[in-house]
Amino acid sequence: MRLIAIVRLSTPDNVARVCQELVDAGLPGVEVTLNTPGALEAIAALGGAVGAGTVRTAAQARDAQNAGAAFLVTPTVAPEVIRAASVPVICGALTPTEIDLASASGAAYVKVFPASAMGPGYVKEVLAPMPELKLIPTGGVTLAHVAAYAAAGAVGVGVGSSLVTEDIPELRKRAKAFIEAAESAWR
């Protein structure tokens, strides 16, 4: 999970197409947020190739898994989602206490959110006493941040608006640039 594309669109029109383009481009993780209209339908149409994001309840976790979500992402520490999951969960957290709680609760990875509020130095500082944590900074991450987060010890990054667009030629261009940056950063 070196790179997760976060698909959050305002209409259901292009959700499946945008996700398919990202999968075809070779993105290791594509997340469709449940607050995107048509999210569950898009997840089902993509046959287990994508995950579900903004999962906040056990019922949402079950619905996303029934649609075929490959993984779940929460915006906050959500033990009830972890308990309801039969797929990996990337649990959102910000403070060291929340990050540790998410990991101890069984999250496969911890999404440091919003990462833009803290930066790569924060990730490095959190990992100093807890180097076993698998952190994925998310929120405000741009192409320029990828190498810095890798150097700080993050295992990957989550990227939304600086990667995802409904303009398909631009989406392909951005996906290629982010994939190359992630491959270079985590060599």
Q: Which residues are catalytic?
A: 31, 111
Provide the 10 A C-beta neighbour count for residue 187: 6
- Do the Cβ atoms of 110 and 99 come closer than 8 Å? yes
Q: Provide DSSP, 8-60.
A: --SSSTTHHHHHHHHHHHT-SEEEEETTSTTHHHHHHHTTTSSEEES--SHHH
What is the number of residues in the chain? 187
